[in-house]
Chain A
């Protein structure tokens, strides 16, 4: 099967609507298809990977730990919009320290998250074959 560049564009916070968790479900299934996968977090989507999520008082499943598993599925290109962070008073330090093990570098642990400007992100997006927007 041909390899294409798939980008999953996450634009909404985790619990107010269903988009975040159902996007993550697609990403995990997609991992089995051995495509070139990347994720982008823009607008309120940046809240999806914020550190220290706690859903105890809203009666919903806290699925934020699942993002830590992405590295094991060879999904290690997570782009975060710098402008979206800044607009919300957030910095990279507020995000979960998501990592992967680089098989080409003696399995060294490396960060999966990359904060990029919207201009850079739009360049990355225009290189994609398929953009799925959630």
Chain B
């Protein structure tokens, strides 16, 4: 089955991202395809490459990165909503330079894109599963 996931909550504050990760991992192990993971609302904070949890805790961002969810051309399918990201101070290299900001924090396993990617995931996938409050 082709599955997409929407994550609406930030890491550590809320279980949504952890549960979604466990779900995605189990689905892949069972032979399903994760077409796309879309990060929305505070969920965009799951893409920060500056995330530094204490050593005895899981690293939510790296966990997602290690799942290595990509399309056939090798582009990341961990997708961060651009509008939600920019208003929360999440920028990739291109958005940082476009807006004259001297740094960027989006992990390279993720990419920033528009809300259309969420709708497209809903259209293309057999299931779209939403994690959040």
Residues of A that sit less than 8 Å from B by CB: 1-2, 4, 6, 18-19, 22, 25-26, 29-30, 32-33, 35, 129-134
Contact = CB atoms under 8 A, between A and B. Distances in A.
For chain B, the bracket of interface size reads: 10 to 19
A128 to B, nearest CB: 10
Given A22-B41, A22-B84, A133-B130, A29 B122 contact: no
A30 B121 CA distance: 12
Given A26-B119, A29-B115, A19 B41 contact: yes
Contact of A29 (B114, B132, B133): B114
Interface centre among A4, A19, A26 (most CB of B within 10 A): A26
Contacts of A133: 130, 132
Interface string B117-133: 01110110000101011
Interface centre among B114, B119, B120 (most CB of A within 10 A): B119
A130 B116 CA distance: 15
Contacts of B114: 29
Given A30-B115, A33-B116, A132-B6, 15 more contacts: A1-B123, A19-B41, A19-B133, A22-B84, A25-B83, A26-B40, A26-B118, A26-B119, A29-B115, A32-B116, A130-B128, A132-B122, A132-B128, A133-B130, A134-B8
A18 B123 contact: no
A4 B123 contact: yes
Interface string B88-127: 0000000000000000000000000011101110110000
Nearest to B6: A132
Given A18-B41, A132-B6, A133-B130, A33 B119 contact: yes
A33 B41 contact: no
A33 B133 CA distance: 26
A58 B42 CA distance: 21
